[in-house]
Amino acid sequence: MTQTSSPPTHVPGDRAAPPDQATVDLLGLLAYGELTAFERMATDARMSPTLDDKIALAAMAAAEFSHFQAICEELDRLGVDREHAMAPFIGPLTAFHNSTAPADWLESLVKAYVGDNIAADFYREIAERLPSPSPSRELVLSVLDDTGHAAFAVDRVRAAIEVNPTVAGRLALWARRLVGEALTQAQRVGVDRDALTGLLVGVGDLDALAAIFNRIMAAHGRRMAALGLSA
């Protein structure tokens, strides 16, 4: 008589169930994004006008690397190879950073505050549509929270404009360029990764998609106003 084996039972602590592709893509995208943010901030710290500024930016770079490590640990928990997850996003993110290399300290601050945050807003809209409750979803949303760069950038940029108001026009033009490049990068990622696009397409109607775009641009407008720049 043939004995039928029982299906394996889940034991707490076992490897997580295989994740959906959208979750893997978003984790891979953010992992590489946090890694490049760490590299960029560490490099930009060399342009800091004071030692206090250098220390502050170095601390924020360390926070970005901590986020990178947390995402990699989540990929490990899900049984996903971290390098494989990040690989599709190396091209688009590298192209974005190569085309938006800041010329000076103030441009580096505006890039971190304006360029990075508009991309983060887009990724947050995607993350909020991941299955819930989910450790991956909660981790992504926490990683996208501000690391303290916002207040630091606003303080330094506004102080520079107060000393020399003529820099405001240059920085406003720089911010507009960053927004265009960031949205182009996000669009490229969306076209290449169907699973991520599917989450937004799943919103269901054009009015809902327009509302997403309006929220992103409204947040951008508030950031520009905080810097003292025209949107």
Answer whether residue 75 is part of any domain. yes
Q: How many CA atoms lie within 13 A of 7 on its CB side?
A: 1
Taking only Cα atoms into account, the Rg of the chain, rounded to an integer number of angstroms, comes to 20
**Does 5 map to a domain?**
no
- Domain assignment present for 144: yes
Q: Which two tokens stand for residue 125?
A: 């809209």
The answer to whether residue 7 is domain-embedded is: no
Note whether 157 and 171 are within 8 A (CB).
yes
The series of mean pLDDT values per 10 residues for the chain, 231 residues long, is 38 58 91 93 91 91 93 95 94 89 93 87 84 85 82 93 95 92 77 72 65 87 91 69
Q: Which helix (H) or strand (E) holds 201?
A: helix 194-201
Please tell me the pTM assigned to this model: 0.83
pLDDT at 206 (0 to 100): 66
Q: Is residue 14 part of a domain?
A: no
Say what the pLDDT of residue 191 is: 66
* Structural domain containing residue 177: 21-227
How many residues are there in the chain?
Answer: 231
Total H helices, total E strands in the chain? 11, 0
Please give the Cα distance from 73 to 32 (Å, whole number).
Answer: 13
> Which CATH number belongs to the domain containing residue 124 in this structure?
1.20.1260.10
In a domain, 91, yes or no: yes
Residue 2 in any domain: the answer is no
| Of residues 217, 101, 213, 227, the one with CA closest to residue 162 | 227
So what's the pLDDT on residue 214?
Answer: 87
- How far apart CA 213 and CA 231 sit, in angstroms, is 15
In a domain, 121, yes or no: yes
The domain total for the chain is: 1
